[in-house]
Chains A and B, each alone.
Chain A
């Protein structure tokens, strides 16, 4: 595909020179955007306070707590598993049976401790 003559493109670039926005538009737009941001922040704050007075809006935070709890439990199991894997590496497969048992005991202890922490936090 052949390119158009460079001088014609130059002419086109000159004809379609960028247009500076008027100063009053810049000020108006900045004011509008700033006031929308402030309004949105104010509305969100007011909504959060008023929403928590209505029990119908408690479902979401409650669900978040449940999800948080589940995530915490999963995290404990994951940590225990990771620890067990790293220790398996140290033992090089020796005394695997006794290690598995101690790993499971440690995981249960971790689970109990984390669960107590979660319940205590609530």
Chain B
């Protein structure tokens, strides 16, 4: 029998962790491994995390585990994420068929742009837009101050707008 509280955490955030892992590593196979490892590690340290959280949500803690594991994965393999995103993503993500047909090019330009961002900016955008985390949660997950996180997200969006609007100019600016 799985501990009730951990089970609740797992059910509430499995999609968050998987989404983060997927956009972070770029393919479903590695995302599954990363998600599995994240929850196994979380399970080992769950009691301590509960004690130290002082009642705050544990999602940033979970995402931080995934973030650290992803960093280790790249260090071990000495490679960057295997982008572009799988074609199968669009089947798993809750897009409608109509949106897929009409906006595929535009969305794919945005995703390509996200790939070009520096790691910290890319991660902040994944947390904000894929997971819907607020600044405070993202700050906790990244181990930064709230203010620094706000600036990070703002700069990430601005840079991405530049890349999507004018790829050459944006990359020259940064």
- Interface positions of A (Cβ within 8 A of B): 1, 3-5, 8-9, 11-22, 25-26, 28-30, 32-34, 36-38
Contact = CB atoms under 8 A, between A and B. Distances in A.
A32 B129 contact: no
Given A19-B18, A19-B23, A34-B2, A4 B157 contact: yes
Q: Is the interface of B mostly helix, strand, loop or mixed?
A: helix
B131 A33 contact: no
Given A4-B154, A5-B161, A18 B94 contact: yes
B14 interface: yes
Interface stretch (B36-44, B49-57, B66-74, B137-145): B36-44
A34 B1 contact: yes
Contact of B10 (A5, A15, A33): A33
Given A8-B161, A22-B92, A17 B130 contact: yes
The list of the 8 closest CB pairs from A to B, nearest first, reads A21-B18, A15-B110, A16-B130, A4-B157, A16-B129, A17-B93, A15-B107, A18-B19
B28 interface: yes
A31 to B, nearest CB: 10
B2 A20 contact: no
Contacts of B36: 25, 28-29, 32
Given A14-B99, A32-B40, A37-B1, A1 B150 contact: yes
A38 B125 CA distance: 38
Given A8-B161, A20-B92, A25-B36, A15 B2 contact: no
Contacts of A28: 36
B103 interface: yes
Nearest to B6: A33
8 contacts: A3-B154, A14-B95, A19-B130, A21-B15, A22-B32, A22-B92, A33-B40, A37-B1
Interface of B: 1-3, 6-7, 10, 14-16, 18-19, 22-23, 28, 31-32, 35-36, 39-40, 43, 89, 92-95, 99, 103, 106-108, 110-111, 114, 125-126, 129-131, 150-151, 154, 157-158, 160-161, 164
Q: Is the interface of A mostly helix, strand, loop or mixed?
A: helix
A14 B107 contact: yes
B125 A16 contact: yes
Nearest to B28: A22
A48 B31 CA distance: 38
B110 A19 contact: no
A17 B39 contact: no
A93 B158 CA distance: 75
A35 to B, nearest CB: 10
A11 B107 contact: yes
